[in-house]
Amino acid sequence: MKNIPLRVWKKTVFPVAALVLATTLGLSAQEDSGEGSKGEGSTGEGEVFVDVVDVNIINVDVYVTDKKGNRVTGLKREDFELFEDDKPVAISNFYAVEEGRPTTGGVQPKAASTDEPVRLPQLALREAQLEVPEDQKLHLILYFDNLFLKPFNRNKVVRQARQFIYDNVGPGDKVMLVTYDRSLHVRHPFTSDMRAISDELHEIETLSGFAVQADSERRNVLRRFEDAPTAFEAEAHIDLYAQSLHFDVMTTVRNLKEMVRSLAGLPGRKAILHVSDGIPMTAGEDLFFMLDSRFGDDAAGGSLRGRRYNTRRLIRELTANANANRVTFYTLEAVGLRSHTSLSSEYGGSRGTDGVVAGSRIEADTIRVAGQQETLMMMAHDTGGLATFNTNNIAGGLSKMASDFRTYYSLGYASANSGDGRYHDIEVKVKKKGLEVRHRTGYRDKTAETHLSEGTLAALLYGLDSNPLGIELLFESARYDDEDHWLLPIEVRVPLGNTTLLPQVENHTGRLRFSVAVIDEDGRMSPVEQTAVPLTIPAAQIEDARKQYYVYSVELKMRKGRQKVAIGVRDEFAAESSYTRRPIQIGRS
């Protein structure tokens, strides 16, 4: 998936609704570039302002265990305390799930003549759980980072993952399969068909893994380092290697951020199972340590200079973005139990050169592994997930993640913030002593415009089709514009009966915000464009207006080929949004 601002937008709003309705209803509409979620209506006797305040419900998924790591169930709303920026907030929503069954906030099937729950067979139980609230459904991404994976290690996880998804993905949940091979590749989009995911996992086993090449490059650097007669020459070899590795780390983290950003508009819980052999926190840190060990003062603090390749800040940005979008990382180190690679025969055994002895190599290996695991730990810890490393028990790590999916609490509260764009810390405490709590550590408060853009992007990329306003997207015939572009007129129809129109003296007023985005068959996307449209309808004609549509027209300048167009519409007075998308072939195929 590429995020390339390819489209050139030629945007014109034709007041079609005004043409259709004005002669009988006197409705007026105009394009407005105003920001914020405040709706303004004007009457013939002066301006009247309507201030609409969004109630932003923040959901925090919470996992509670005892000191032995066993799941704790049966807790109630009153057992929890919730804090935002160190200030207590009231828990407005409470939802508890135990072994896949909602125990609070969900409906339990009952027997006809007893208060005891019906003991359903497993298939019937799964079907009885289909009505999961939208904000509790799971979108799971299996993410294989082939840049930092050896094929053998990856394929061990792939085989376990097949059984994992069959056993633990519930009704209404969806899974997507992604690989990173120096660019993001969606191997299978979100689906509830686990057989399709399983089939695609077979294909992943045939892909290359770049970690083999990376190990070869490190061995070559070690040999050049040991042959270097001076600290200056040795550092030059290490520095060149660290620059290259640092670039790889930055690109893999930035693509993860892009993945997280694209998930923002999806409702419900979102989890990424990130599989790798580990990602260095500081590229080349182990080799800079060896430089200091061999040359001492002559190295002039190589380890200190190596800190310029530290990516902690970038990882923090990644986890902050994940928290902002309710995305939890589950990181799995596929390599399993490690040995000291620098002592193997391919690294020259225990041979020492100018004071470089086996002990320093062991320490360097320890530093390297610790740095790779620190990144995985930070990604999981900061987002409320779990990190699994230094074990050959892959199934055990997957089982712990599955327990999070099946048994958890969801706490919701109404944020007092109103789209300030700031990051806010979250803390959850359990009143009962001796219990441990995991959850995401914060969230970013977003404006209504940001939410609309993210929802439009989710519709474009993942087919999000949430349409409470009943909007319709219609295409007219595209016409040739120039050598590279076609012009596509589109219409978005919004039933006025589904919108909120507030009475204000002689008129009723409303306010709609439209967003549009396009993606082509190569994954190139346009920016998400937005336009706000205030509506004014004479009070005497409001009943007739509610039976008709407001039509928003826009002309898109597009390239030839298979495209998808996504539309978002927000009723700003009702704080409700709709999303839909349609494919289209531009020009002859």
Q: Is residue 409 part of a domain?
A: no
Element at 204 (helix H, strand E): helix 194-204
Q: How far is CA 421 from CA 92, 389, 492, in A?
A: 22, 35, 30
Same domain, yes or no: 158 and 293: yes
Same domain, yes or no: 255 and 348: yes
Same domain, yes or no: 368 and 501: no
Same domain, yes or no: 486 and 399: no
Residue owning tokens 């050598």: 483
Q: Is residue 372 part of a domain?
A: yes
Residue owning tokens 């986890």: 319
Same domain, yes or no: 397 and 491: no
Q: Is residue 542 part of a domain?
A: yes
- The neighbouring-strand residues paired with 83 are 88, 427
* Contacts of 429-433 spanning 24+ positions with Cβ under 8 A: 429/80, 429/81, 429/82, 429/83, 430/64, 430/75, 430/79, 430/80, 430/81, 431/78, 431/79, 431/80, 431/81, 432/75, 432/79
Answer whether residue 455 shows pLDDT above 90.
yes
Tell me, what CATH number does 166's domain have? 3.40.50.410
For residue 87, what are its two tokens?
Answer: 């200030």
Same domain, yes or no: 146 and 262: yes
Q: Is residue 457 part of a domain?
A: yes
Same domain, yes or no: 376 and 451: no
Q: Is residue 30 part of a domain?
A: yes
Same domain, yes or no: 373 and 260: yes
Last residue of a domain, one of 378, 404, 430: 404
CA dist., res. 271 & res. 61, Å (int): 11
Note the pLDDT tens digit of each residue in 236-290: 999 999 999 999 999 999 999 999 999 999 999 999 999 999 999 999 999 998 8
Note the pLDDT tens digit of each residue in 83-114: 999 999 999 999 999 988 888 754 444 333 33
Tell me, what CATH number does 578's domain have? 2.60.40.3880
- Domain count for the chain, please give it: 2
Same domain, yes or no: 215 and 272: yes
Exposed/middle/buried for 572, CB within 10 Å: 0-12, 13-18, 19+?
buried
Same domain, yes or no: 380 and 485: no
Last residue of a domain, one of 346, 379, 404: 404
Same domain, yes or no: 295 and 170: yes
pTM summary value: 0.83
pLDDT of res. 480: 87
Q: Which domain holds residue 457?
A: 16-37+447-586
Exposed/middle/buried for 140, CB within 10 Å: 0-12, 13-18, 19+?
buried
Q: Is residue 463 part of a domain?
A: yes
Same domain, yes or no: 166 and 312: yes
pLDDT of res. 40: 41
Q: Is residue 456 part of a domain?
A: yes
Instruction: Find out whether 62 and 438 touch, Cβ atoms under 8 Å.
Output: yes
- The neighbouring-strand residues paired with 581 are 566
Last residue of a domain, one of 380, 404, 428: 404
